[in-house]
Homo-oligomer: A and B are copies of this chain.
């Protein structure tokens, strides 16, 4: 049985708490929240603390707080020599306090408050200072997910940037698509099969081989029509820049 304490009460912390609660061989010893109310819907009160001095002993402490708070939280822990891993994609392993054995436990997924996620599919990216700690962290990770990867701090940085492109920026394009539909009395529903198929295609085809549309065909007439249609300056700019990007990527092949 691996005993875990989760520190934090945001999206990632809550998804972790939920999955650990329901996993055999892993015990959620306790969760830490500055405001214990944030976790009361998930855990009984005696499992939640807002006081560092009351943190219980565990095999692994997972710090799932905002990037800016990780270093500070790691310094506040009133013990040393224990395995403490943070969940951030962009914070180096060495940014946590060296008094504890350091690690990273980065779940590469987009978590929203009101949408459950099949945690078995979430890639978990692991890194530790010590080889023995890797064995323990990997054992924990494999209880929770079928996709466990060894990723060092430099790779994790790259991965986080790539994730911003394929998730956050992709979603921003869905927002734009939705806005264009709204302005023209078109139900956004009509775009959903296209959105799903576009994501689904790259499961089996390389993204560069899946590229379609006016830019890859260098269909200048359609591109001109679209630019004339777009009245919003930022949308026009995005259209131009991403069309150029598609054409440059095609040349690299």
Contacts and interface: CB of A to CB of B under 8 A. Distances in A.
Q: Kindly report how many copies of this chain are found in the complex they form together.
A: 2
Given A158-B186, A195-B199, 11 more contacts: A66-B219, A90-B225, A108-B191, A110-B197, A123-B193, A159-B180, A166-B174, A168-B215, A169-B238, A169-B246, A238-B242
A167 to B, nearest CB: 4
A186 B238 contact: no
B210 A198 contact: no
Interface of A: 11, 66-68, 90, 108-112, 114-115, 117, 121-123, 125, 147, 149, 151, 154-155, 157-181, 183-187, 190-217, 219, 221-222, 225-226, 229-230, 234, 237-239, 241-242, 244-246, 248-249
Contact of A166 (B162, B195, B208): B195
Contact of A194 (B108, B177, B225): B108
Nearest to A246: B172
The list of the 9 closest CB pairs from A to B, nearest first, reads: A168-B213, A199-B199, A174-B207, A158-B184, A166-B177, A162-B180, A162-B177, A169-B242, A175-B207
Contacts of A90: 214, 222, 225-226
B193 A121 contact: yes
Contact of A162 (B66, B169, B181, B216): B181
Contact of A123 (B151, B190, B234, B244): B190
